Amino acid sequence: MADDVHEVTMPKLGESITEGTLSRWLKSVGDQIAFDDPLFEVATDKVDSEVPSAFDGFLMEVLVAEGQTVPVGTVLARIGPLAGSATGAAPVPAAEPAPAPSEVIDAPVVTGRGNGNGRLLSPVVRRLVAEHNLDLAAVTGSGAGGRITREDVLAAIAATPAPVAPAAPAALAPPASPVSPPTAAAPAPQAGDREEVVPLSRIRLITAQRMLESRQTSPHVWTSVEVDLQRIEDLRRRYKEQFRKEEGVSLTYLAFIARAACDALRAHPAVNASIDTASKTMTLHRYVNLAIAVDLNEQGLMAPVIKGADALNLRGLARAIKAMGDAAKAQTLTADDLSGSTFTLTNPGPLGSFASAPIINQPNVAIMSTEGVSRRPTVVGDGIAIHHMCILGFSYDHRAFDGVTAARFLMDIRDTLQDRDWEAELQ
């Protein structure tokens, strides 16, 4: 390769990121590119990023198509020198980008029935044809140039009648158990009257995968505690305007709960841990990286991480929670902002929830939900009073610790919220 031709590779967007999906090219083959021009967009399981060009020149060749997922370091494209530069020549038309994954041309079909009329099919299509012994001559391709796509094959599978089992002969011995045929992929659902079929977003699919993995990994147990927040409510009323002027953020219940949780996590290291049963070890984190779940307008959740949250006071946590929430909604978080959590808080309380059993954010061993604050009767001394009360819901991994640890952890948070001199910390 000429020294003046530069390779563009899949960037490493975070410590734990090993691959990325090239979601969109922002330049076309032959386009002139200046240093730092937006070149393509990458989607990972944590965040979407726009990647700028590190070189001047023109887009000479695209090697990875939109929608493909490749490891970090994979060559995505090549950038050549511009005409008139010291070593440059005029841009030369390059090969078109590789087609989308469902239509990648790889090798001639050599399985299935019928002749393929010399057609070239993707690995996914070849596998489906082989598994279901399809007659290729009966499959009509809807792709470019009549190419058979995955969707064409799935439609053909759905239209193929199930084979009729032959009548069992009268035999002295029972017949052998039949081998179940491969399960056909379910056809896409069809919308009926007053129905709408919509595709799942990428973040919804990732959330589904992560939640299922968490349930399969951790034996979840749930417990809860009720907290009297009346003293904190009185303090918020007195200081909320002053606090907003000084800090530029609201003095929310969440900031107090996060502060109390950080202290409890330091006192109960088993709750602030990650577990590896394969190596028969558990890592106790002597710091708190606090993830806060943020709703993205009901399109999914992100959990940005406040690194070193245990080193922040109430004011610092209030500012950090607001900053991370704003960045999540503005989609300006980096992969590192979403990595490295040791404990997670989820906060459905502003919507008036009563009690929740959230799913653990792996590789944490616990997650706590902060529920709606409402005025309820409670015992105060020998009398009954109407106070601002709240439930804290706690899901934990029973491999890491037992119910007594969970109960003590929640008791410490409750006592801190109810009894600490928060006014002194505010001042």
- Choosing from 36, 234, 276, 398, the catalytic residue is 398
**CB 410 within 8 Å of CB 366:** no
DSSP per-residue string spanning 274-323:
EEETTTTEEEEPSS--EEE-EE-TTS-EE--EETTGGG--HHHHHHHHHH
**CB 292 within 8 Å of CB 345:** yes
Distances (CA, A) of 293 to 1, 135, 313, 347, 403: 47, 50, 20, 7, 24
Residue 5 DSSP class: -
**CB 88 within 8 Å of CB 63:** no
What letters, b where the CB count within 10 A reaches 16 and e where it falls short, cover 339-372?
A: bbbbbbbbbbbeeebeebebbbbbbbbbbbbbbb
Closest CA relative to residue 103, chosen from 126, 122, 129, 117: 122
- Residue 402 annotated to the active site: yes
Backbone angles phi, psi at 60, to 5 degrees: -85, -35
Rounded to whole angstroms, the Cα distance separating 214 from 300 reads: 17
- Choosing from 106, 402, 419, 421, the catalytic residue is 402
Q: Is the peptide bond before 169 cis (omega within 30 degrees of 0)?
A: no
Rounded to whole angstroms, the Cα distance separating 101 from 223 reads: 45
Which two tokens mark 340?
Answer: 């490295």
Rounded to whole angstroms, the Cα distance separating 381 from 170 reads: 84
Q: Which residues pair with residue 20 across a beta bridge?
A: 70
| Token pair 């010291």: residue | 86
Which SS3 state, helix, strand or coil, does residue 255 take?
helix
DSSP E strands: which ranges in 301-401?
301-302, 305-306, 343-346, 366-370, 374-380, 383-397
Rounded to whole angstroms, the Cα distance separating 394 from 222 reads: 6
- Residue 387 annotated to the active site: no
Rounded to whole angstroms, the Cα distance separating 22 from 41 reads: 6
Rounded to whole angstroms, the Cα distance separating 54 from 398 reads: 48
Catalytic residues: 398, 402
